[in-house]
Amino acid sequence: MRFLKSLFGIGPDPREALIPLYSSAVAEARRPVWYADYGVPDTLDGRFDMVTATFALLLLRAEREGDKAGEISALLTELFIEDMEGQVRQLGIGDVIVGKHLGKMVSAMGGRLLAYREGIADRETLTEALVRNLWRGEPGPEAKPAEAAEALRALHARMESTGWDELVARGIPA
């Protein structure tokens, strides 16, 4: 395949360079602290919601990259869609309705991106968005939405204080 790409001048897939960064956002979402300490539901929906939260923060960070921000965001979103398609297929969902599921996931991602963009600067607004999205409006007694909001704001600050090239090379800083 690489031979054909080079023969036709297509070149390498530009998403490849962003895979480690995307993977670090997913790894962050899978950290046990979100579920054990902050009470995010350790369910399929809860894990999806955490991936969308960390991924949204990554897209917010990418927006700072000026002229290339749109391309970066598009490539990262393609990685998100490809990953979600693989997850849906692993659940045994067939070809006929994969697109419908992916459409709902991408729509959810867009809504969360908007909510987190609006809320990241204000702890209360972000907390409200997390209650709606991570706990579907009904946080249980183990839920700690304010603490989760503060942890996401700290994650956002770490991404904001890291240069883009370093983020791509090393992933999201711990």
Q: With respect to residue 12, please indicate whether it lies within any of the assigned structural domains.
A: no
Residue 65 CA to residue 73 CA, distance in Å, equals 10
- Is residue 52 domain-resident? yes
Residue 57 has pLDDT above 90, yes or no: yes
Number of domains in the chain: 1
DSSP state of 65: G
User: For residue 9, what pLDDT is reported?
Assistant: 60
Q: What is the arithmetic mean of pLDDT over 78-97?
A: 79
Q: Residue 125 belongs to what domain range?
A: 18-170
Q: Are 59 and 113 in contact (CB under 8 A)?
A: yes
Classify residue 131: in a domain, yes or no.
Answer: yes
Tokens read off for 40: 């995010």
Q: By mean pLDDT, which of 12-16, 87-91, 151-155 is the weakest?
A: 87-91
Grade residue 32 by pLDDT with cuts at 50, 70 and 90: very high
**How far apart, in whole angstroms, are the C-alpha atoms of residue 145 and residue 138?**
11
Is it the case that residue 6 has pLDDT exceeding 60? no
Amino acid type, 18: L
Coil vs helix vs strand at 121: coil
| CA pair distance 102, 96, nearest whole angstrom | 12
